[in-house]
Amino acid sequence: MTETEHQQHIKSPSLIQALIPLLFLIILLGLSVKLFGSDSSSGANQIALLLAAGVAALVGVKNGFSWKLIEEGIVRGISMSLGALLILLAVGALIGSWIISGVVPTMIYYGLQIMSPHWFYLSTCAICAIVAISIGSSWTVAGTIGISMMTVAAGMGLSPEITAGAVISGAYFGDKMSPLSDTTNLAPAVAGTDLFSHIGHMVWTTLPSLIIAMTIFMFLGFGYDSSANSNDIAQFLQQIETTFSPGLIMLLPVALVFGMAAMRFPAFPTIMIGAIVGAIFALIFQPEQVKHLAGLQGGMGLLKGVWISLFDGFKSDTGVAALDKLLSRGGMSSMLTTVWLIITAMTFGAVLETVGILTKIVDSLLKLVHSTGSLIATTIFTCIGMNIIAADQYIAIVLPGRMYRAEFARRKLDPKNLSRTLEDSATLTSALVPWNTCGAFMAATLGVATLSYAPYAFFNWINPIVAIIYGFLNFKIVPIKEENESKVLA
C-alpha cells in the first residue's frame, strides 16, 4: 500500500482515545513527583513523557497512521525547539564565563550594597520588568539580571523561590508589553490584529495584574529580619573584593548584551557573544582564577580555563561555603538535563498533534462555549493545556489562535480580544510548566525547580484570572467595528 493510499484510511480519534495518553501522562507524572520529588525533572519526567508519547502513537496506529507519518511529526516538533535549545546552551556558557570573569560577582557585590532587603522582591520585579520592556526578552533578563538577583538574594538570606517568582513576574510583564518581543508580535499576527492595538488592549488586564503582584512582593519583603545576615553579607563582600576585584568596568558585557538585544540581534548569537566577551574579560581581569580552574599554569592554562568555564562552568573555591555554592555553576553541560526534558516534551506534543488528538480536544471544548465569558475562559484553559501538552509557548499561541479565531469573529468580537487572551494565558503560563521550554529554561537558569517558584510567580497566574473575570463581566471586551467586520470575517 502506498503512503497516499494509507493516508486515506486514517481516522480521527474519539474523545476517549484522545484522553487516554493525557490521563496516562498525568498518572506517570504524579508517580514521578511522589517517588523522586524535586529531582523528578532529572530523568523521571523525561521517561514519563516518552512513555505517554508511545501510548499516543499507539492510538494513532490504531486509527490508521503509519509510524513513518508519526516519526515525521516528531522530527518537525523537535525541530521547532532547536532555537530554544541553542539559546539554553548559550546561557549555560554565559553563566560560566560571567562568573569566572567577575561579571556576576560584581553584580552581586553592588546589589548587596545598594538593594534594601525589605524592598528586594519588589525591586527585583520592577527592575526585571523595565529591562524586559526595553529588550523584549524574558529569557535574556532571566539569564543576566535574574542570575544576579538570585545570588544577591542568597547573600541576604532571602527566599530563592520568591526571588525567582519576582524575576519571572517582572520579566514576563516586560516581555509581554514590549513591541520587541517575539510573542507580542506573534499573538496579533495569529489573531488578525495589529501590534499596537494589541499592546494597548493588554494594558487593561496586564497592569492591574502587575500591581497586585508587586503589592504582594512588597508585603513579603516587610517580614525580613535585616539584622539576621549582616555578618554573612559583610563576609561575602570582603571575599568578592579579595577574589574578583569588582568594578564598574566589569558590567560592560551586561551592557553589550542588553544593547544587542535592544537592537533586535537574534538571541542565540547575542548570548554567545556575551559569553565570549565574558571569557575575554576573564583572561584580562581574572587570569589567576582561570589558571586555578584549569589546574595548569602559563598560556595553555589560560586557554584551558576559559574553555572549561564555557562547557562545564566555574567551580568556586573562596573558602566561604555559601558563596562557593552560589558561584559554582554554569557551563553548557549544566543545561543538558533540561535539553533532554525539552526534547521528550516536544516529542509528546508532536505525536498528539500529528495523530489529531489536540484538534479533537479543542473541538470538544468549543461545544462548552455559550457566552463571551465562557469563550475567553475556554481559550485561556486551552492555551494552558497546550503549554502542558505541547510544551512550547509558540504552539500554545498559534494552535488556539487558529482554532478560536473564527469563533471570535462569529461572535463579532474584535481580534484584539483574542490576541490579548492568547498572551494572558499562553505566554504567561508557559513558565509554570516544568517540562515546557520556558519552565525548563527558567528552572535551569535560576536554579530553582519550576514547581517551587510557580506559587510565587504571582503575575503569571494572576493575569489569566483577571482576564477570565473581565470576560464574564464583559469588561473591556471590544466588539468588531462595522467597517472592519467584513475584513475580520474574511
Is residue 233 domain-shared with residue 376, that is, in the same domain? no
Q: What is the DSSP letter of 477?
A: -
What pLDDT band is residue 482 in, cutting at 50, 70 and 90? low
- What is the average pLDDT across 320-340? 84
In this structure, are 330 and 352 located in the same domain?
no
Query: Would 1 be classed as within a structural domain?
Result: no
* Mean pLDDT for the stretch of residues 80-95: 85
Q: Is residue 376 part of a domain?
A: yes
pLDDT digits (tens, 9 = 90+) for 213-250: 999 999 998 876 555 466 667 777 888 888 888 889 99
pLDDT value for 325: 77
**Range in 18-22, 142-146, 416-420 the model is least confident about:** 142-146
What's residue 104's pLDDT? 85
Share of the chain above pLDDT 90, in %: 43
Mean pLDDT over residues 57-71, rounded? Answer: 93
Q: What is the reported pTM?
A: 0.79
Residues 37 and 138 in one domain: no
Looking at the DSSP assignment, which residues form a beta bridge with residue 329? 314
Q: What pLDDT was estimated at residue 225?
A: 59
Q: Is the pLDDT of residue 389 over 80?
A: yes
**Close Cβ partners of 354 (under 8 Å, ≥ 6 residues apart):** 60, 65, 69, 70, 72, 73, 74, 77
- Of 484, 430, 471, nearest to 454 (Cα)? 430
Q: Which residue has the cell 475584513?
A: 487
Cell 508519547 sits on residue: 53
CB 423 within 8 A of CB 324: no
Q: Report the alpha-carbon distance of residue 156 to residue 141 in Å, rounded.
A: 21
pLDDT at 38: 66
**Strand, helix or coil at 225?**
coil
Length of the chain: 490
For residue 75, is it within any domain? Answer: yes
Tell me, yes or no, whether 100 and 111 share the same domain. Answer: yes
State yes or no: pLDDT of 206 exceeds 70.
yes
Summarize the confidence of residues 359-374 as an average pLDDT: 84
My answer on whether 28 and 119 are in the same domain is no
pLDDT at 100: 93
**Are 48 and 99 found together in one domain?**
no
Q: How far apart are CA 227 and CA 220, in angstroms?
A: 17
In a domain, 435, yes or no: yes
List beta partners, residue 479. 413
Statement to judge: residues 274 and 359 lie in one domain: no
Find out whether 423 and 187 touch, Cβ atoms under 8 Å.
Answer: yes
Q: Which is more confident, 12 or 467? A: 467
CA distance 362 to 429: 18
| Pick from 210, 193, 214: nearest CA to 417 | 193
Q: Are residues 14 and 151 in the same domain?
A: no
**Residue 443 located in a structural domain:** yes
Give the per-residue pLDDT at 241.
87
Do both 242 and 110 map to the same domain?
yes
**Of the candidate ranges 124-128, 143-147, 210-214, 222-226, the one whose mean pLDDT is the lowest:** 222-226
pLDDT of residue 485: 55
Average pLDDT, the chain: 87
Summarize pLDDT for 418-467 with one digit per residue, the tens: 999 999 999 999 999 988 889 989 998 898 999 999 999 999 999 999 99
Residues 366 and 385 in one domain: yes
The grid coordinates listed for 86 are: 541553542
Asked if pLDDT for residue 487 goes beyond 80, the answer is no
**Percent with pLDDT over 70 in the chain:** 94
Q: Which domain holds residue 69?
A: 9-80+348-489
CB 396 within 8 A of CB 387: yes
pLDDT, mean of residues 27-54: 85
Residue 486 has pLDDT above 60, yes or no: no
Gap between the Cα atoms of 458 and 19, Å rounded: 30
Looking up cell 515525521 gives 72
Judgement on whether residues 188 and 310 belong to the same structural domain of the protein: yes
Domain contains 172: yes
Q: Which residues contact 299 (CB under 8 A, 6 or more apart)?
A: none
Asked if residue 427 is part of any domain, the answer here is: yes
User: Among 335, 365, 395, where does a domain finish?
Assistant: 335
The pLDDT of 352-364, averaged and rounded, is 86
For residues 173-185, average pLDDT: 87
- Check residue 226 and give its pLDDT: 55
Instruction: List, in sequence order, every residue forming a beta bridge with 168; answer none if it has no partner.
Output: none
pLDDT attached to residue 483: 53
Q: What is the pLDDT of residue 83?
A: 82
- Determine which helix (DSSP H) or strand (DSSP E) holds 479, and give its type and residue range: none
Residue 478 clears pLDDT 70, i.e. is over it = yes
Q: Report the first-to-last Cα separation within the chain, whole angstroms.
A: 40
Domain co-membership, 87 together with 50: no
- Longest CA–CA span in the chain (Å) reads 77
Q: Which residues contact 278 (CB under 8 A, 6 or more apart)?
A: 94, 97, 98, 100, 101, 103, 253
Within-domain flag for 342: no
Q: What pLDDT digit, counting tens, does each position of 248-307 carry?
A: 999 999 899 888 887 878 888 988 999 999 999 999 999 999 999 998 888 899 999 999
Q: Which of 301, 335, 369 is the last residue of a domain?
A: 335
- Count how many domains the chain has: 2
Which amino acid does the sequence have at 42?
S
Domain boundary, last residue among 305, 335, 365: 335
